[in-house]
Amino acid sequence: MGKRVSQPAIRDMRRLFKYVAPYRWLLIAASVLFVISSGLFLAFPSISGQLVNAVTGAALPFSPGEIMLALVAVFVLRAIVDIISQYLLSRAGESVTLDLRADVYRHLQSLGLSFYASRRTGELVSRLSSDVTVVRATLVNNVATLLSNALSITGSAVLILAVNWRLTLVVLIVLPVATLIAVLYGRAIRPLSQQVQDKLAESSSVAEEAISGVRVVKSFGREAHETSRFEAAARATFQSALRLATIRATFGPLIGLMFFFALLAILWFGSQEVSAGRLSAGDLVAFLLYGSIIATGVGVLAQIFSQLQEAIGATQRLFEILDTPCDVCDRAGAQPIGVAQGRVTFERVTFAYESGIEVVRDINLDIAPGEIVALVGPSGAGKSTLFNLIPRFYDPTGGAVKLDGIDLRDITLSSLRANIGIVPQETVLFSGTVRENILYGRLDASEAEVIAAAKAANAHTFITELPQGYDTPVGERGVKLSGGQRQRIAIARAVLKDPRILLLDEATSSLDSESEGLVQEALGRLMRHRTTIIIAHRLSTVQIAHRIAVLDKGRLVELGTHDELLARDGLYRRLYLLQFAVADEEPAPLQPDPVAPRYAAADAPLRFPASTRPR
């Protein structure tokens, strides 16, 4: 059992030290200075013993005053050496943790949506922050202490052996016992430490969810409930941390107590040696000081050993992320596609999530360049899944999705997604300025291009009326803006990207009438000359589509224009009647824009139908 636990730990620590390699010269320089510092410190007991001998009248070449000056010089020089060595070690340690944090975050960004579907945001943030902090503390603080104490203990052991071998045996009896205790404590500390980190991540997740959903919390008056949830998670963390603290609290003092008894034995036995004339008073003082250095050093090493167990647990959690394979990534031989024509083809596409239940089955659909296709169907029909397969948020478990006849898996992700723009139903803005959020569409865009994109999205007017114009902070997730304003900034972002394929998760369903009109007008401009796939939640908006694909239980059951589908006695007609019927009256057919067959009408002006929401 112990072997199975220790082998992964050793492997992870070796991997961790690979991060140290680029900064080895800083560590080597710091180590040399630590050797010098330890040597200076080891001179203290010997010089102190000489001082005692000089005071008691022994014939020495130096006076007590000169010996005192030597002690002062030793400690001043050691302080200077320690300052430099600590700085070098801290620089190396902070650099290592920066690289580790960057690698973990880079890998998080490379992972697909399936990874995030099974993880909580707070847990990932906790690993990225608190776990890396634990590793940093071990590298920066404990390595220096470990090296310094190891050198001091080794040097002291050699010197006490030279002073009196009989007294040395007393110290050597204690060391194996202390080592055994350290091993036993280490086995108890590591799982508890990992449990504390897990509980801390869980409480962070609870807090992150409640804070990000604060509007929902307050609208339902659930402040007390969320407080209780967090307190329960925090208390679980507290209980685990308390168990760990209890073990750690007894560890160091127990080791220290053992060496206290050893020092008492040294003091008693040493007094006998002085009385017998085999040891001078100064040598006894030096021996006691060296013994104290060993006792203190072993106690500190015991504490470091316990903290090392915590670092091993944190390191394992970090490498668990780094070892998570990328389920959607560039496969060997993938090529960039450049600017696509925009033909999207589903060939016998089937997809199942981890549960194994197929959510789309055997979908065949060819969308021509410039064509507008709406996906409709009941909840759970598979609309969002098809939507997510186009930018390769997921890969189909059967069949293939193609762009311009090329399997998406044979196209590099960066070039594929450079051709795709997404305007979601719930707009996500980042906590920067309006300009920074628009520039997210193309980071190297000029000021004139940003303004042109905002004008095309019907956003320029309201942006210029903001307190700081384009430099106005939008708040976290755009909280300082209205829903319609956020949507128009998202559209401006897509306009600036200028994609060949546009994915719209009906962006107007939650807006007021005025905002809806402005957003629809902006979307009309955005869709021209682009292949557009729309998830339609309200059937009043699908009439701008050249074709409508009707999904049910993961299958494509109908395909055609609005009029063609309405004329059939199929699912689309039933959904339409259910959504728009008033009393016993059947709704009058809505008149879509006159369009030529298929995608040839992509250049025609796009006019959204008037809203026909039930009243």
pTM of the predicted model, to two decimals?
0.69
Nearest to 41 by CA among 9, 1, 75: 75
The pLDDT of residue 495: 85
The pLDDT of residue 602: 37
Looking at mean pLDDT, say which of 103-107, 513-517, 553-557 comes out highest: 553-557
Separation of alpha carbons 490 and 504, rounded Å: 11
| Backbone torsions φ then ψ of 332, nearest 5 degrees | -55, 130
Q: Residues 570, 559: contact at Cβ < 8 Å?
A: no
Per-residue pLDDT averaged across 360-380, rounded? 90
CATH topology assigned to domain 337-419+500-615: Rossmann fold (3.40.50)
Six-digit token pair at 589?
């057919």
Q: Residues 298, 259: contact at Cβ < 8 Å?
A: yes
The model's pLDDT over 517-554, given as tens digits with 9 standing for 90+, comes to 777 777 777 788 889 898 877 776 777 888 999 999 88
The secondary structure of 102-139 as a DSSP string is HHHHHHHHHS-HHHHHTS-HHHHHHIIIIIHHHHHHII
Separation of alpha carbons 58 and 56, rounded Å: 6
User: Selecting from 3.40.50.300, 3.90.870.30, 2.30.110.10, 3.30.1540.10, what CATH number does the domain 430-498 have?
Assistant: 3.40.50.300
Per-residue pLDDT averaged across 265-279, rounded? 73
The pLDDT of residue 134: 75
Q: Residues 302, 252: contact at Cβ < 8 Å?
A: yes
| Backbone torsions φ then ψ of 422, nearest 5 degrees | -125, 130
Per-residue pLDDT averaged across 253-268, rounded? 71
Nearest to 191 by CA among 231, 144, 147, 244: 244
Buried b (16+ CB within 10 A) or exposed e, 76-89: eebeebbeebbebb
Separation of alpha carbons 551 and 384, rounded Å: 11
Answer whether residue 221 shows pLDDT above 70. no
CB atoms closer than 10 angstroms to residue 314: 26
DSSP H helix total and E strand total for the chain: 20, 10
Separation of alpha carbons 496 and 442, rounded Å: 6
The model's pLDDT over 311-358, given as tens digits with 9 standing for 90+, comes to 777 777 788 888 888 888 888 888 988 888 889 999 999 998 876 788
> Is domain 12-205+236-322 given the CATH code 1.20.1560.10 in the classification?
yes
Going by their DSSP bridges, the two strands 398-403 and 406-407 should be labelled as: antiparallel
Q: Which residues contact 359 (CB under 8 A, 6 or more apart)?
A: 351, 352, 353, 380, 382, 385, 554
The pLDDT of residue 215: 56
Nearest to 462 by CA among 517, 393, 518: 518
Separation of alpha carbons 375 and 504, rounded Å: 10
Separation of alpha carbons 11 and 369, rounded Å: 52
Six-digit token pair at 418?
């450079």
Q: Residues 16, 312: contact at Cβ < 8 Å?
A: no
Answer whether residue 86 shows pLDDT above 90. no
Question: Which residues sit opposite 91 in a β-bridge?
Answer: none
Six-digit token pair at 266?
């040294």
Separation of alpha carbons 286 and 342, rounded Å: 84
Separation of alpha carbons 580 and 444, rounded Å: 46
Six-digit token pair at 355?
């549960």
Q: What's the maximum distance between 2 C-alpha atoms anywhere in the chain? A: 121
The pLDDT of residue 211: 67
End-to-end Cα separation, the chain, in angstroms: 68
The pLDDT of residue 303: 67
